[in-house]
Structure 1
C-alpha cells in the first residue's frame, strides 16, 4: 500500500471525486479513496511550505500555505495550475509600508459560487475568480481581531465571518457589508456552519471550551461547555439531526440536534492524538484527522473502519538539562520514548549532536521530563502516568492518575515532585519512593505548574489566571496574565519565566507581580522560552522564533522558518563563550542554531532525532 511520509495538516472531502483531499506540511496535496488508500499525490509545491488551509470545489483544489501563497490544483490530476504570492495582491491604501506580514495558521479559505475567498499576507480579505485567478475585490474586514479564521456562506443570504479573537461578523458577501459585529465567546472560532434544521449557525470556540449557537442576525448566542481544550471543527449529518465535533482533547463528540438545545449523545475516542478536523459524508463514512497526520474513517457508532498508516508520528515535547552538565539534554518524545543527547561546538563552525541513550516506554506520550544529577529522571505522560527511572532507563517507581498529564517540577530541595493534569488534580510525590505526599482537586483544568524559588506552588489555568499556593497548598494569591499558559522556567534570580499568550512573562511569585513582559513579533501562543546571555528567545505556535533584549525588554527581531510546529527549546553558553540554541518540534526535528551578540539566530543543522 502506497503511503505518504509527510504529515497531513488539513483535509476536505470532494463529492465530485468521492475522495478525501489532504494538504501536508510541505504544501503537497494528496487524494485518498473511501478506504483511505492513497490514490494520487501532487508534484511538490514551489514554496515547500505547509498547507494551513484547503478548500475543494467542482474543478479545483485551492490551498494556502503558511506564507499565505495561494495555490490552485486540478481536482482530478492534482497538477499545479496557478500560484498567487501572499504579499502580491494588496489594497495599497489599507496598510502601511512597514506593516507586518501575517504568519498565521488561519483556515480562512473557501471556493464557492465561482469565487475563491482567502486572505493575503497582510490579513486582508481577497476574492478571486476561480477559473482565471483574476482579483474581484479586496476588503479590509479585520476591524476587531488580528486576522480572520472562519467563513460560512451556506445560508442563501446571511453570511458569517469569524476571527481569532472570537468576533463574528454578520452580513452578505454580495455587497461586502459585514458591519454587524458580535463577540459571543473568547478565542478563535475556526468553524462556523449553518444549521438548516433550526435556521441558525453553530460555531466553535478555542478558549471557551464550548460550541455555540446563534441566530441568523447575530442575536441570542448560547454556549454549551463540554471540554477543557480547543474545539477544532463541526460537521453536520445530512439533515442536521446530529453534529460531530472534533476537539484537541483526543475525542470526537456527537451532539443530537433534534431539539433546540444541543444534547451530548456520544463521545468517540480517545484517539491517540488530538483531532483536528471531522467530516461527515454519511453515517458509515465519517473522517477525522489527527495532529499526528493520520486520517481515520469511522461510523456513527464510533467503530473505526480504516486509517491511513501505521502510526509513525513523533515530536520533541521537552528538552531539559542534566543538572551539572548543560550540554546533556533529556528529551521527552511523542512516541513515549526518552532520548538523551549531547550538543556542543564542533570543528569549523559545526554544532555536534550525539544521542547517548534512548529508552522506549509504553505509557503514551512523554509530555514533560525532569532529570536529577545522578542521571535518573521523572516524567509525566499523556495517559496520566508519573514515573521515575534510573540512568539506564529501568523503572524505579510509577503512579497513575486520571486525565492527561500536563506538567511536573522538582521542589527547590529536590525532595518532592509536583504534578498536574487536565482534570484539575494537583499533587506532590516523594522523589525517592513515589509516595503521594499531598493532593488538591481544583475546579478547573490545569495547563502547567511549577515551584518558585521559595517553594510556593504556581498553577496556571488554561488562560488569564495563575493561582499561587503555599507549600501546604493553602491559597496565597493570584497573578493575572493574558492568553494560554504553556510552561514555567525558573531563573537564577529566583523569578519564573512563563511562556504564555503571545508573550514571555517574568514573574516575582512571592510579590504576585509581573516584573517584565517580553512581547511583539509572535502571532500566536508562545510554546517555550529560554534566557541566553542577555537575550530572551521564544518559539510560538505560528512557527516563529522571536528574540528580545532582556535588559532593555525590547524586540531584537524574529524569523519564521520552522517546517512544522516547534515544541521545545534548550540553550547554553559553552566554554568558549559561544551561544548555542536547540529547537525541537513535531516531525522529530532538532534544529541547532548559533545566536549572535544581537540576539539573532543562524541555523547550522536540521537533524531528525
Structure 2
C-alpha cells in the first residue's frame, strides 16, 4: 500500500506516528518509519468533483479536525480515520453578512484552535467559526476585527492567554472564551504561518514571511514575542516564505523551514536566537514539519515528499513519494502545436493532437528525466532547451543530450534568453548572473540589488532586466549602469517581454509596462486571492493563473474580468494557449500533480467563458534527495 496523492499537511500522533492529509481531501496514518498503515478512502482526481486539498489539521483527543481549501470542515475518528462529521463550506456561514450569490473563497489557511471543548477556525468567507467539539454543532459565527482578516494560526498552549495570527503580520493576544483580544501586535508585514508557545522561555515564536521596516521583502525568518505582544528578537535568515516550525519535546531545540529549502535547527537552551545547524538537500521547498514524541523531526516538502531526521539533523528515512509538477510551459520555436514543459524530474515535450475538429488533446511525446533537481523554468529552442533546476543549476540540453551545466552560488529563480540567442540571464538570490548561451561560462554579474533577484529578461535593444523580491524592476546596459527603474508595487514571479512591452506576474496580479515608462500601463487582478503565477494572451483575452488555484480571463483592452474558475485540481504553475483546427482559442493550464488541463475559451458564451475539455497527467517519479548537515553557529538575532 502506498500513497497516490500529494501530502499537504502532517501532524504527530503520539505513540503512533504521523497523521497526514492529501490534495484530494483524504487523511492517512504513517508509522514512525513513514510506512502507510491506514487511509480514510480513495478519492480520485477522475471524480467530478474531486475532493479539495486539506491545508489545516488539528488532533483533539479522539478526533482529527480538518479544513480544506474551500472551507469545508470535517471531523474524523483519529483511530479509524472514518469520517464522522462534515460541514459544507457554503453553508457554514452567517448568511446575513454575505453578498447575494457570494461563494466561499479558496484559501490556504492552516490554523485550527482547540480550547475548552470548542474548535476555532476561519471559514471560506473570512468569518470566525466556533464549533462544539463533542457534538460538532455550530456554536458561533461572527466576523473578525479587522473585517476580512485572514486568520492563519491559533496558539492555545500558553498559560492564561491564547493567540491568533493573520496574513497581515498581526498577532492577537487575549481570550478565545470571550473573543476579546486587547493586544494586537504588528510582528510582520505578511503571513505568520506558525505561532508556537515556547515553554522553556515563556514566550511565543512566530514565523515571518515578509520582514518589516528596512528588511521588508528583503530578509525575514522568525521572531520571539513576549506574552504582552512585544517583539523580543528576530532572526532574519530567509529570503523567501517561512512555512514550518516545531519544537523538540523538551523545547531545547526549534526546527524551522520554508521556501529556501533548508531546515534550520535552533539551539533554544538560552533565550538568544542561535542557529545551530542547517540541513539542506531537500527535493523541494519545505512546506510543513512535525516532531514526534521520540524527538524525530519529519519534514514535508511541496512535492509531497516526507523526510525524517534525528534531533541533530541526521537523516533517518524518507517516503520516496512519486511526484510531479508542470512548472513552466512554452511553445517550441518553429514547431506548431508543440510545447516544452518544465517538470519535477526534468522536462517533457507535449504535442497537440486533433483527430476530430474541435477536440484537441495533448500527447506526451518526450520526457527527459535526467534532472538532478526539479526544473523550475524551461526555455525551448529548435534543438533542445535551457533550464533552471533546483536549487542552483542552469543547464543546456541539445538533442536530448546535456551539453553543459553550471552551479551558481545561490538559489536561481528564473532565466531569460537574449534576443540574439547568445546570452542567458539568471535571476538569483545573490543578484543577476549572465552566461554565454553556448558554453555556460559566466560572463557578467549584476550585484548591489535592493533584494534578491526573482525575475530576469532582455529588452529588444539588448538591455538586461532584473526584478527583485521587494518589487523593484531595473534595466541595465552593457556596462551595468541602470538606465530605467520602476516600482512594481509587489514581488514578481515571472517576467516576459513582447517588443517594448513587459509583462510581470506576481503580487498584485498580471501587470504590463512599457519600457522606459514611468508608470504601469495595464493590470489584471480582479478576484485573484493570491499570487498570480503566469499569464498568456490570445485573441484579445489575457488569461492568468494564481497560487489560489484560480484561472481568470480578462479583456485585454479594458481589463474587464470576463471569465473565472476555481476548479483547478491543485496549485497552478503555468499557462499557455493555442488555436485548434477550427481556429478556436484553447488555454493550457499546468501545475502540481503533473496535470495539464485544456480549457476552451469562448467569449461568446458569458455563462461559461472557460470550459474544461480534458486533462493529461504527466508520469511521476520518486524525488531525488541528497541531505547535508552543516554546523552554523549563527547568533543572527536582531533585537
Name the TM tier (shorter chain). Answer: over 0.9
Q: Note if 1:523 corresponds to 2:529.
A: yes
What are the within-5 Å matches in structure 2 for residues 187-586 of structure 1?
A: 187-208=190-211, 209-282=220-293, 284-308=295-319, 310-335=320-345, 337-343=346-352, 345-347=354-356, 349-372=358-381, 374-390=382-398, 392-422=399-429, 424-443=430-449, 444-491=451-498, 493-574=499-580, 576-586=582-592
Q: How far is the alpha carbon of 1:86 from its aligned partner?
A: 1.1
Per mean C-alpha deviation after superposition, the further-off stretch among 90-99 and 78-87 is: 90-99
Q: Note if 1:601 corresponds to 2:599.
A: no
User: Please, what TM-score do these two structures have when normalized by structure 1?
Assistant: 0.94
Query: Do the aligned partners of residues 147 and 64 (structure 1) sit closer, same or farther apart at CA in structure 2, a change above 3 Å counting?
Result: same
Q: Note if 1:140 corresponds to 2:143.
A: yes
Q: How far is the alpha carbon of 1:321 from its aligned partner?
A: 1.2
Per mean C-alpha deviation after superposition, the further-off stretch among 473-482 and 190-199 is: 473-482
CA contact (8 A) 1:326 1:572 kept: no
Q: How far is the alpha carbon of 1:88 from its aligned partner?
A: 1.0
Per mean C-alpha deviation after superposition, the further-off stretch among 242-251 and 398-407 is: 398-407
CA contact (8 A) 2:114 2:156 kept: no
Q: How far is the alpha carbon of 1:340 from its aligned partner?
A: 1.4
Q: How far is the alpha carbon of 1:346 from its aligned partner?
A: 4.3
- d(CA) in 2 for partners of 1:100 and 1:146? 17
Q: How far is the alpha carbon of 1:512 from its aligned partner?
A: 4.2
| Superposition RMSD in Å | 2.0
Q: How far is the alpha carbon of 1:284 from its aligned partner?
A: 4.2
- d(CA) in 2 for partners of 1:557 and 1:101? 17
Query: Do the aligned partners of residues 519 and 70 (structure 1) sit closer, same or farther apart at CA in structure 2, a change above 3 Å counting?
Result: same
Runs (5+) with no aligned partner, structure 1: none
CA contact (8 A) 2:12 2:291 kept: no
Q: How far is the alpha carbon of 1:107 from its aligned partner?
A: 0.5
User: Please, what TM-score do these two structures have when normalized by structure 2?
Assistant: 0.90
Matched residue, 1:18: 16
Matched residue of 1:603: which SS?
strand
Q: How far is the alpha carbon of 1:430 from its aligned partner?
A: 2.3
Query: Do the aligned partners of residues 129 and 566 (structure 1) sit closer, same or farther apart at CA in structure 2, a change above 3 Å counting?
Result: same
- d(CA) in 2 for partners of 1:332 and 1:602? 25
CA contact (8 A) 2:360 2:580 kept: no
- d(CA) in 2 for partners of 1:124 and 1:179? 19
Matched residue of 2:231: which SS?
coil
Per-residue Cα deviation, 1:81-104 (whole angstroms, up to 9, x for no partner)? 111011212223433335452211
Runs (5+) with no aligned partner, structure 2: 44-48, 212-219, 619-639
Matched residue, 1:4: 3
- d(CA) in 2 for partners of 1:7 and 1:50? 9
Query: Do the aligned partners of residues 34 and 20 (structure 1) sit closer, same or farther apart at CA in structure 2, a change above 3 Å counting?
Result: same
Query: Do the aligned partners of residues 527 and 495 (structure 1) sit closer, same or farther apart at CA in structure 2, a change above 3 Å counting?
Result: same
Q: How far is the alpha carbon of 1:283 from its aligned partner?
A: 6.0
Q: How far is the alpha carbon of 1:282 from its aligned partner?
A: 4.7
Q: How far is the alpha carbon of 1:20 from its aligned partner?
A: 0.6
Per-residue Cα deviation, 1:38-64 (whole angstroms, up to 9, x for no partner)? 111012469611112111110111111
- d(CA) in 1 for partners of 2:127 and 2:368? 48
What are the within-5 Å matches in structure 2 for residues 131-170 of structure 1?
A: 131-143=134-146, 146-170=149-173
Q: How far is the alpha carbon of 1:501 from its aligned partner?
A: 0.7
- d(CA) in 2 for partners of 1:154 and 1:311? 33
Per-residue Cα deviation, 1:115-144 (whole angstroms, up to 9, x for no partner)? 211122101110101121111112311516
- d(CA) in 1 for partners of 2:153 and 2:523? 30
Per-residue Cα deviation, 1:338-366 (whole angstroms, up to 9, x for no partner)? 21112254415321212232223243221
Per-residue Cα deviation, 1:149-169 (whole angstroms, up to 9, x for no partner)? 111111132221111121222
Q: How far is the alpha carbon of 1:540 from its aligned partner?
A: 0.8
Query: Do the aligned partners of residues 58 and 345 (structure 1) sit closer, same or farther apart at CA in structure 2, a change above 3 Å counting?
Result: same
Matched residue, 1:34: 32
Matched residue, 1:183: 186
- d(CA) in 2 for partners of 1:233 and 1:290? 10
Matched residue, 1:43: 41
Matched residue of 2:490: which SS?
strand
Per-residue Cα deviation, 1:4-26 (whole angstroms, up to 9, x for no partner)? 111110111122x5331000111
